[in-house]
Structure 1
C-alpha cells in the first residue's frame, strides 16, 4: 500500500501518485504517475487538470482499465458496452520516453527537468528524477531494488553525476510499505523455485497462475518458455496487453511487449506467449469468466512474496501489488472529492 502523500517538498508545484485536493496547498501545476497499481491512483477518478506525465505503457493501460463488476458483466453479456474507468483522462495524459532528461515548463519562468527511469516493478512502472532551481530529488515509487538493479542505476547516464558524487540529491522519496527487516527473494530466485515445482507434475497437467494484478509479466514469460505452452488470458487482459503495441502494431512501449503479445520478424508475424485460445496448458484467465478448460484437476499457482524464518508462506495480499487491479473486490464510488474529504474528516 502506498504511504506517499503526493507532495514533493522541494517542488511544491508538482504532485506524484496522489491526486486529491490537499488542504492548505494550492493546486499542482503538473502531476506525475509512476505506474497503474490502484494504490497510486487515488483521486484520478475526478481529476480535471493539470497534465499527468507518465510512461507510454502506463498511459495505454490506464485508459483501458475497467472495474471488475463492469468487465465481468460485459463478458457475461449483461452490459452492451465496456465502461473504461479513466477514459476521461485521455487529453490530460502526456506519455514521456524513458532515460531522457525532458524539460517541462510549469508556468512562465518556472521550469523543471524530469527523467523517467525503469523501476523494475510492473510494466510501465518508472521512477522520476526531478531537477530544477538548483534542487534535485529521486522519487522511486514501488521499486524492486535487487542488487543487479541498484548496480545498473549507479551506471545510468543521467544518474551517474549523482552516483559519482559530482552532484547531490536533496531527497530520495522511497516506498515505505516495508520498513521492518524482511528478506525477499530476487525475481530470479522466485522464478527458479516456481519452475522446479511445476517440473514435478506430469506433462499433461493444466496450470492456472493467479495473476491478480499487474507485475507478473516475467512469470508468464518464464512459465511459457519452460513448459513450451502459450498462456490463456481472458479478453480483458488480452486487450490490455495488446495495447502496449504502438499504433503501427510493430513498435512496442515496453521491453516485455514482444514476448507477451507477438512481433514481426521481417514480414512474418510471430506469436507472443499470451493467447485467447483455451487449448493450452497454462491459464491466467480471470475467475468468474467461465473458462471451459478449468476443471477440478487444474493445479492452481498462487503467488507468495516470501517466507518467514520458520518457513511460513506470506501471501501476496496487496503490498506493492496494487490492491487488486485485476481481482474481484467491493468498492464504493463517489462523484466528487468533496464527499471523500468529508468522510476523511470524520
Structure 2
C-alpha cells in the first residue's frame, strides 16, 4: 500500500498517485498530476481534485471514469435508481491519456517542460511506470510493479531506456514501491502461481464449482487461465463487466454494450480475452459472463461481487463450493502465506471503499506475520 506523498523531488512541479492537499501544496499547487493505475490507494484525493490535468494510460482513464462507490452499487442493485453515481465523472476533462512507450513532452508553464514516458508496470490493466526527464535530470517512478526477471530484462532492452543501460545517462532516483520487501520473503512469479492453481483445480471432479474471492483489478490472468483449463466462462457481476467493457471503444457502444461491429479498439491487451472481439462478421466471446438467460447452471467459475448477493449457482449449489482465496506469496520454510489485505489493490477495491486507509508500519508488520 502506497505511503508516498506524491512528490518527485527532482521535478517539484508535478505530483504522482496522491492528490490531497498537503503542506507542500498549500503554498504552491502542482502544475500536473500523474496516475499510475486504478487501485484505490493510488487514488487518494482524486475525487475532490479540480485542477490540474492528470495524465495516465488510456485504460486507466477508462477504468477511473467507470468507478462507483460500493453503497451506490448496492442501492442501485436493490432498485434505487437515483443511487447510481460515477465517482469520478467530473474528471472527464481533467484525465488526459498518454500512449505507452512514447516519450511525450508536456509544457507545465511557459518555458517549463517535462518529458514523460509510460511503461507497462506488470501489475494490472492500465498500470504504468513513469520515466520523468529533462535535459539534466531523470527519475523513474514505478508505482506498483512485479519485477520478475523476464520483465526487468525487457525494460533493459527497451529503446527508450537504452541510453541509461548503455551508460550514456543516469537515472538520478528510482521511486520504488517496497510494500512487501523483506529479506527472507521470495515472491513467486505469476507463472508459478498460475501453475500451482491449475494443478490444484485439476484434482477436483469435473462438476466442481469454483469461487475466486477476488474483486479487484489484477486477477485477469487467473480468470483467463481458469476459463481455458475448465472449459467454462467466469461469472462476474454487471458492474465489473461494465468496467472491462469500457476497455473496448468504437462505434456507438456504451459502457455496458458490446461493440456490434465496424471499427473498434481495445484499450488494453487483456480486453479481447475478457469481453470478446469482432473478426470480420463473427463475434468471438471473452471468458467473462454475467450469466444471463439461465447460464448460471453452465458456469463453473464465479467471481461475482459478494455484497450484491451470491448468484443462484452458488447459493443453491448441490455440492460444496471450492473457494479460491488469493494470497500475495507463500512464505519460505512452511511459515504460511502473506494474505491479500488491500495493499496495492487488495480485496476492497471493487468492494466497499474507493479510498483505503493507509496502514502504519506496525500494522503492516503484524499483517506480514500472519
Q: Same fold (TM over 0.5)?
A: yes
Structure 1, 116-125 or 211-220: larger mean CA deviation: 211-220
Q: Classify the secondary structure of the residue corresponding to 1:305.
A: strand
- Per the alignment, residue 129 of structure 2 pairs with 127
CA distance in 2, matches of 1:71, 1:33: 24
CA contact (8 A) 1:55 1:96 kept: yes
Give the alignment partner of residue 268 of structure 1, picking from 264, 274, 282.
Answer: 282
- Per the alignment, residue 79 of structure 2 pairs with 77
Q: Normalized per residue, which structure has more helix?
A: 2
Alpha carbon RMSD of aligned pairs, Å?
A: 1.7
CA distance in 2, matches of 1:323, 1:46: 24
- Would you say how many aligned residue pairs link Structure 1 and Structure 2? 333
How far 1:79 sits from its partner (Å)? Answer: 3.7
CA distance in 2, matches of 1:330, 1:38: 6
Q: Classify the secondary structure of the residue corresponding to 1:208.
A: strand
- Per the alignment, residue 245 of structure 1 pairs with 248
Residue 293 (1) aligns with residue 317 (2): no
How far 1:332 sits from its partner (Å)? Answer: 10
CA contact (8 A) 2:198 2:229 kept: yes
Gaps of at least 5 residues in structure 2 are 252-258, 358-370
- Per the alignment, residue 282 of structure 1 pairs with 301
CA distance in 1, matches of 2:83, 2:353: 21
Gaps of at least 5 residues in structure 1 are 334-346
Give the alignment partner of residue 114 of structure 1, picking from 106, 113, 116.
Answer: 116
How far 1:179 sits from its partner (Å)? Answer: 3.1
- Per the alignment, residue 208 of structure 1 pairs with 211
Instruction: Compute the TM-score of the two structures, normalised by the length of structure 1.
Output: 0.92
Instruction: Compute the TM-score of the two structures, normalised by the length of structure 2.
Output: 0.87
Residue 218 (1) aligns with residue 221 (2): yes
Q: Classify the secondary structure of the residue corresponding to 2:323.
A: strand
- Per the alignment, residue 23 of structure 1 pairs with 23
CA contact (8 A) 1:307 1:313 kept: yes
* Aligned positions of 1:115-194 closer than 5 A: 115-181=117-183, 182-194=185-197
- Per the alignment, residue 313 of structure 1 pairs with 337
How far 1:69 sits from its partner (Å)? Answer: 1.4
CA contact (8 A) 1:29 1:50 kept: yes
* Aligned positions of 1:94-105 closer than 5 A: 94-105=96-107
